Amino acid sequence: MDFTDYPTMSDEQMEWKADARGLRFAIVVARFNRKITEKLLEGAREALERAGADSVEVVRVPGAFELPLAAQRLARQSVYHAIIALGAVVRGETPHFDYVAGEAARGLQQAALENNVPIAFGVLTTDTYEQAEARAGGAHGNKGYDAAMTAVEMARFGAIG
Ligand code: INI
């Protein structure tokens, strides 16, 4: 399979069944690279609506670096069955790409593990802005949609009943 031709969950061709009825979600979305992140948010909302989510709360933070703390605070409210973190970090735009992208990933995983709440990683980390566009409702699907579907699956994982 060509690297540029992998299937995505947002691909209409891919059968993906998810039932989010009875589940509550929070989406935390970075404002940095807003045009991209708002598309990711659209995708995530669409996925959760299709899956029948009970409720979806959206909060915004300045950049991807701020996602972990916001997600942790949401997780500690014990209100949400899963959280979806959305952002876009573009290598060409920042000399501190590795810090921002790396700390976002590390911090989100830490928040998920420490609070026992699934946090889906919907943060694009790309070399160029065009690559990010392609993954936010473009040729490579919508990673916000994919992250939301992952959140639904992980919210169900291990759930009783
Ligand atoms: N934040 C992003 O979400 N994406 C980026 O590409 C980015 N760049 O290019 O620097 C970025 N920086 C801001 C960062 O997330 C924090 O908001 C900032 O460092 C303040 O803590």
Distance CA 105, CA 4 (A): 23
Is residue 3 scored above 90 in pLDDT? Answer: no
- Ligand 1: residue whose CA is nearest its atom 17: 63
Domains and CATH numbers, the chain: 29-125+138-156 (3.40.50.960)
Distance 125 CA to ligand 1 centre (A): 12
Q: What mean pLDDT do residues 142-161 have? A: 88
| 3 vs 137, more confident | 137
**What is the rounded distance in angstroms from the CA atom of residue 58 to the CA atom of residue 37?**
12
Q: pLDDT tens across 70-109, in order?
A: 999 999 999 999 999 999 999 987 778 999 999 999 999 9
- Span 131-157, mean pLDDT? 96
Residue 81: both structure tokens together = 């069955």
Supply 161's token pair.
């009943």
Amino acid at 90: V
Residues carrying an active site annotation: 96
